[in-house]
Amino acid sequence: MNIEDPRALPSSARWLLGLSVALLLLTLAWDASGLDLPVMLQIGTPEGFALRRLPLLEKGLHDGVRKVSTVLFIVMIVWAVRRDSGRPGTTTRRERLTVLALVTLSLLAVSVTKQFSRSSCPWEWTAFGGHAVYTSHWNLLVSDGGGGSCFPGGHASGSLAFFALCLPWLWSPVAGRRTAIGWQWFALVVFAGLVSGVTQTLRGAHPPSHTLWTGVFCAAIALGGWWLALPKLRAVRSTT
């Protein structure tokens, strides 16, 4: 059997961790810059957001992506519980169940955080005809006058929560797996997350920082959970 140290860092995992750290630094820099309001002022007006009800954004890239994410989650459940094929290079049931658990945990973490958030969505801000006074999304003590529960980006989490799908290939407990598969999943998840985030920003639902923090949360949960699970993910067969 060709089994690596379960917590060893292959080059693909180092790249993945590096990109995740870069995302965190970018997100912190964005927060420090205070660019959320200036960006939203370029999109909205005192009358609101003209693109909020645009069919392409509302029905296509919002409702449509959400439905695709739901279908993918159901497919992933079936993928996770199926029997091991025993073919070299394939994932084990234990790995797939770990991925499923991490995706689910990411979705729950974003959802629970939103429930405690006192930050309202841009379309509720006074600058765009609403009643909420723009404040930092880290303000956990005082209401901004709006409905709250907007931070982080829930719609983006429907895509970015699938970050863990790339880990069986990019941080595999066995040697020889095709990292190209993992990078393809990574690229698809990041692309879908960007589309979801930009869609909601254009509609006035979330400023850019909400999507960035959703990415940070999902990456941290996926990478941290996978690292903790690696000792139990030892392969029981050789790989090609």
Q: What is the pLDDT of residues 163-211, one digit of tens each?
A: 999 999 999 988 788 999 999 999 999 999 999 999 999 999 999 999 9
Angstrom distance (rounded) from CA 12 to CA 53: 41
* 8 A C-beta contact, residue 123 and residue 49: yes
Secondary structure (3-state) at 45: strand
* Cα Rg of the chain (Å, integer): 20
Q: Which residues contact 122 (CB under 8 A, 6 or more apart)?
A: 40, 44, 49, 128, 204, 205, 206, 207
Angstrom distance (rounded) from CA 77 to CA 17: 26
* 8 A C-beta contact, residue 116 and residue 150: no
Q: What is the DSSP letter of 98?
A: H
pLDDT for the residue 90 = 85
Secondary structure (3-state) at 95: helix
Residue 23 burial (CB < 10 Å; 0-12/13-18/19+)? middle
**Amino acid present at 216:** V
Closest C-alpha to 152, from 69, 221, 209, 67: 209
pLDDT for the residue 235 = 52
* 8 A C-beta contact, residue 27 and residue 214: no
pLDDT for the residue 8 = 60
Q: Which two tokens stand for residue 182?
A: 């993992």
Cis amide prior to 152 (ω within 30 degrees): yes
Angstrom distance (rounded) from CA 180 to CA 159: 20
Angstrom distance (rounded) from CA 114 to CA 120: 10
Low-confidence ranges of the chain (pLDDT < 70): 1-8, 88, 234-240
pLDDT for the residue 49 = 98
Q: Model-level pTM?
A: 0.92
Cβ neighbour number for residue 13 with a 10 Å cutoff: 20
